[in-house]
Amino acid sequence: MTRERLYLFDTTLRDGQQTQGVQFSTPEKIQIAQALDALGIDHIEGGWPGANPTDSAFFDEAPKTRATMTAFGMTKRNGISAENDDVLAAVMNANTPAVCLVGKTHDFHVETALGITLAENIENITRSFAHVTAQGREAIFDAEHFFDGYKSNPAYALEAIKAAYDAGARWIALCDTNGGTLPADVGRIVGDVIAAGIPGDHLGIHTHNDTENAVACSLAAVDAGARQIQGTLNGLGERCGNANLTALIPILLLKEPYASRFVTGVDRDALLLLTRVSRMLDEILNRVPQKQAAFVGSSAFAHKAGLHASAILKDPTTYEHVDPATVGNARIIPMSNQAGQSNLRRRLAEAGLDVATKDPALVRILERIKDREAQGYSYDTAQASFELLARDELMQMPDFFEVKRYRVTVERRKNKRDQMVSLSEAVVVVKVDGEKKLSVSESMDATGCDRGPVNALAKALAKDLGIYTEIINDMHLVDFKVRITQGGTEAVTRVIIDSEDGQGRRWSTVGVSANIIDASFEALLDAIRWKLIRDVKK
């Protein structure tokens, strides 16, 4: 059976940049574009040249890609020819092989938002796409508000997209701009469009996630005959986001009937990059990856219940719909006070700890976990701290260094500009290889900003660990979470630190204390010790 080609259009760099709080720099856009190209995306929409300096600079410096680089803009303005519209000219001057223009297809928006007649809008669409195609560019029409427009005035919505198609547009992307259309209606309307004369292999789908149905609506459009899907990495986008390509791509490659019916530019080898690319984007945005994200989330293949873990040991398919390795992710058996010995043995094995089934240490480890979680610790999300606890109980914890004492001071003072600022200073004394070492560091960074007492502690501790200093040089904190586990004057603070190193490894550690600095320091020590266990040559 010959599989049909399905095309993937990424708009992370344009529509994704409309996410509240998201603003890419030009180097970041280049990095993301290269990652998308490595995945096998067919079209990369780089932004709107002329709309802002960053987008214009990106097209000046855009990397060479196998994917078709696409500039975004809008159809020509009323009363101006396509050749003389300076906004459209800026898009064309980006010299991309493809151009995507957005235009109105909902009569309400034409008359209310644009303030022009329905006929004038059709003329603007026709002239714009005739201009684009005359210059040999691949033309794509983002039919804005198409589904709402079709429900309001189907004849006009169809007339608008036919105008673009007849003028040479290669793709007509039907946009659910407000994100309120449900999958059944998307499927029905796409079918109507095909029946009206626009072939499915010229139709795309562009959905928003305002009802949590963007992925389902995209699939409904494909089921009805559309052959291009527009979306973003991690579902970035205005309001609730766009269709999430990090969910759609593995569905298309791994799930039936799509895996048998279609082929995309993303192959099974490239699919192994998916989790890494997803987390790279979050790292660029300086935000915590969504743990529950389908396929790529750190909890997507986490099995906490003892019953589940026991079954996973026998056959992973009992509780996993796909092999996590196929999308570059990994299985996790979290440890908590709900854990049984099945969880424990599996987690110990993953940490490289070989423990016999009847080893009495298993019971001691479980009891210690339950006791410490009663104190406020959480090993559910702090896998590295769990491993260190288990190693300690199994007498397999190396003695890398000993912290003899530490001190942190916080000073509030005026700077030379007569502004009140805070400055933290940390002193750490450690004993490494029989030698005491004292290190001092402050929290001020190179730009003169105060990074706080935990930052000062981390810098002081890492400054001189003797023979281990070079090993931890590529290690850095990527997230810091604080939770108060008890209220009132007897409050206990739990700190969870996520760390990452130059090899791309990410691990979590936990510390608990009535003092937030002490809890942070405990989690920091665990993070360093876990790293040393992995990298110190035996």
CA gap 237, 207 in Å, rounded: 10
pLDDT for the residue 447: 73
CA 107 to chain centroid, in Å, comes to 36
pLDDT score at 282: 87
The average pLDDT across 290-300 equals 92
- Based on its alpha-carbon atoms, the radius of gyration of the chain, rounded to whole angstroms, reads 28
- Burial class, 467, CB count within 10 angstroms (exposed 0-12 / middle 13-18 / buried 19+): exposed
Residue 97 in tokens? 């092989």
DSSP alpha helix (H) spans, 105-231: 107-109, 118-134, 146-152, 154-166, 183-195, 214-224
**Distance between CA 462 and CA 474 in Å, rounded?**
11
Average pLDDT, the chain: 92
Inter-residue contact 150 to 157 (CB < 8 Å): yes
Tell me what pLDDT residue 339 has.
52
317: pLDDT strictly greater than 90: no
If you count them, how many residues does the chain have?
538
Number of other residues whose CB lies within 10 A of the CB of residue 92: 20
Buried b (16+ CB within 10 A) or exposed e, 325-358: eebbbebbbbbbeebeebbbbbbbeebeeebeee
pLDDT digits (tens, 9 = 90+) for 396-445: 999 999 999 999 999 988 877 888 888 899 999 999 999 999 999 998 87
Give the model's pLDDT for residue 215.
Answer: 98
User: Which pairing describes strands 7-10 and 228-231: parallel, antiparallel, or unpaired?
Assistant: parallel
Provide the CA 261 distance to its chain's centre, in angstroms: 28
- Helix or strand run (H / E) with residue 59: helix 53-61
pLDDT value of position 382: 86
pTM value is: 0.74
pLDDT digits (tens, 9 = 90+) for 212-231: 999 999 999 999 999 999 99
Instruction: Report the percent of the chain where pLDDT is more than 70.
Output: 95
pLDDT beyond 90 at 271: yes
Per-residue pLDDT reduced to its tens digit, 322-371: 999 999 988 876 655 445 566 677 778 878 888 887 888 888 988 898 88
**Mean pLDDT score, 41-60:** 95
How many C-beta neighbours within 10 Å does residue 384 have?
26
pLDDT in tens, 143-196: 999 999 999 999 999 999 999 999 999 999 999 999 999 999 999 999 999 999
- Whether 490 shows a pLDDT value over 70: the answer reads no
Pairing of strands 493-500, 506-513: antiparallel
Position 352 scores a pLDDT of 83
Backbone angles phi, psi at 406, to 5 degrees: -150, 155
Cβ-defined contacts of 499-504 (< 8 Å, 24+): 499/384, 499/475, 499/527, 499/531, 500/475, 500/476, 501/474, 501/475, 501/476, 501/531, 502/474, 502/475, 503/474, 504/276
Q: Provide the 10 A C-beta neighbour count for residue 374.
A: 9
